[in-house]
Amino acid sequence: MEQPVVTLRDVCLTYHSPETETVAIDRLNLEVQQGELLGIVGPSGCGKTTILSLISGILTPTGGEILVCGKDAQQARMLTGYMLQKDELFEWRTIRDNILLGLQIRRNRNAQTERYADELLAKYGLAEFAKFYPSQLSGGMRQRAALIRTLVLSPQILLLDEPFSALDFQTRLAAVEAVHRIIRAENKTAVFVTHDISEAISMCDRVVVLSPRPSTVREIVPIDTLADITPLARREAPDFGAYFDKIWKLLEHPTEK
């Protein structure tokens, strides 16, 4: 089998403050395969964001090891791209200038990378809005712009931290559809954190269910029978409910499964 793109081996993370210690992650083991969309669900405060921060190399594990494309996560920071719940677009910059900002910061803004940015804008329906300001776009379009801003840096692995939770339900369905399509079309590997079970089932190839803090993997649920259909079609599929019940029970009543 191919080497996993991301490996977490017995990873532990304890936050220290002068008053307290918080054990956020306790001996977590996880592998992310090339090209897969891996979902992570778990109760609020269980350590989901912490896991993404560890993979991105922002945090150093207090135990265990993390490999990203065969390198230590700290050395692989350029290989991951982070997308957050809030789109973090700067209101005083146009959409295009927001998208080019990361390249500018990495001193990699040039004719070729600008062309790539423009291609992505065109491909994903934002070319006409390139000169608009974020406030002139809908919530769903802003999330698409935020994803393009991440993609333009050509990361191997996308890390998405509850990217849709600030959107209303209708907008969210369309945004999930668009983001799923873009991740597949660009052949990216992605780790997608959410507390929304339906969203995880509709987006992902496998869903990792975490325990309450400190996070360990309770179970990994492959969404294999829905693999080849879009998020909206998955919600309509007969198997959707069974996946939902399974994950819900694992989250709420782990002993009854």
Binding site for ligand ADP (CB under 6 A): 15, 17, 22, 24, 42, 44-50, 213
Contact 13, 179 (CB under 8 A): no
* Cα-to-chain-centroid distance, residue 49: 10
Non-local (6+) Cβ contacts of 52 within 8 A are: 82, 159, 161, 191, 193
The mark string for 34-53 relative to Mg ion (x by CB under 5 A, - otherwise) is --------------xx----
> Shortest approach of Mg ion to residue 40 CB, angstroms?
10
> Shortest approach of ligand ADP to residue 54 CB, angstroms?
10
> Shortest approach of Mg ion to residue 8 CB, angstroms?
17
Token pair for 228: 């080849």
Q: Choose the contact partner of 121 out of Mg ion, ligand ADP, none; CB within 5 to 8 A by kind.
A: none
Q: Which is nearer to ligand ADP, 32 or 226 (CB)?
A: 32
> Shortest approach of Mg ion to residue 193 CB, angstroms?
7
What is the spatial distance between Cα 228 and Cα 173, in angstroms, rounded to a whole number? 18
Number of residues counted as binding Mg ion (CB under 5 A) = 2
Look up residue 49 and give its DSSP letter: H
C-beta neighbour count of 251 within 10 angstroms? 20
Interface residue list for Mg ion (CB under 5 A): 48-49
